[in-house]
Amino acid sequence: MSRITVQSIESAPEASRPYLERAKAKNGFVPNLLGVLANAPSAIETYLTVTEINSRTSFSLAEREVVQITAATNHGCSFCVAGHTAIAYKQGNLPQELVEALRRQTPLPDAKLEALAAFTRAVIRRKGAVTADELDAFKAAGYGEQQVIEAILGVALATLCNFSNVLADTELNPELAAYRWQTQA
């Protein structure tokens, strides 16, 4: 059971309800993550607004999911790993080998995506203070300064939902159960 109330459309603060209604219309259900964030209308608004902004970066859907799943596994957010695994498969049609490597935190079969995952891990581990070698390796893989900042944007987005879910111990929706993930011991 979640340590923070998972709001429904009916129980949420009035300002959060439109966001939950849109999520239900889009997904067919309200992800429990949004029910948790709905406790603070500004938090659910921020999450959904930044999600939309993040979708407009120069990164492909596959690259955005590399950042999101890498951040979620590094932050130990089972809910977000499951949710982004569903997106990777259903919306991105990403290969199972890639998604499973992300979930296991093992090297990715694509060198450019592996460079993105490694850079994302470095940003998280070093709180942005990546080494010159880590930055150079990211750029050598074909990324530029725009993508450096966009990776940080993705980490910022992930941090809001990852930390909220970890703190709340958000229960996984049944619709995401097939994508369940647990922190590696």
CATH number for position 70: 1.20.1290.10
Structural domain of 110: 61-165
Cβ–Cβ < 8 Å for 69, 88: yes
Angle at the Cα of 78 from the Cα atoms of 41 and 76, rounded to 5 degrees? 95
Of 91, 155, 77, nearest to 120 by C-alpha is: 155
Structural domain contains residue 157:
yes
Structural domain contains residue 150:
yes
Q: How many domains does the chain have?
A: 1
Structural domain contains residue 18:
no
User: Side chain identity at 180, as an amino acid letter?
Assistant: R
Structural domain contains residue 2:
no
pLDDT the model gives residue 182 = 87
Cβ–Cβ < 8 Å for 169, 182: no
Stated pTM of the model: 0.96
Structural domain contains residue 101:
yes
Dist. CA 86–CA 16, nearest whole Å: 24
pLDDT the model gives residue 185 = 58
Structural domain contains residue 185:
no
Averaged pLDDT in 10-residue chunks for the chain of 185 residues: 95 98 95 98 98 98 98 97 97 96 97 98 98 98 98 98 98 96 78
Length of the chain as a residue count: 185
Dist. CA 172–CA 56, nearest whole Å: 27
pLDDT the model gives residue 1 = 83
Structural domain contains residue 3:
no
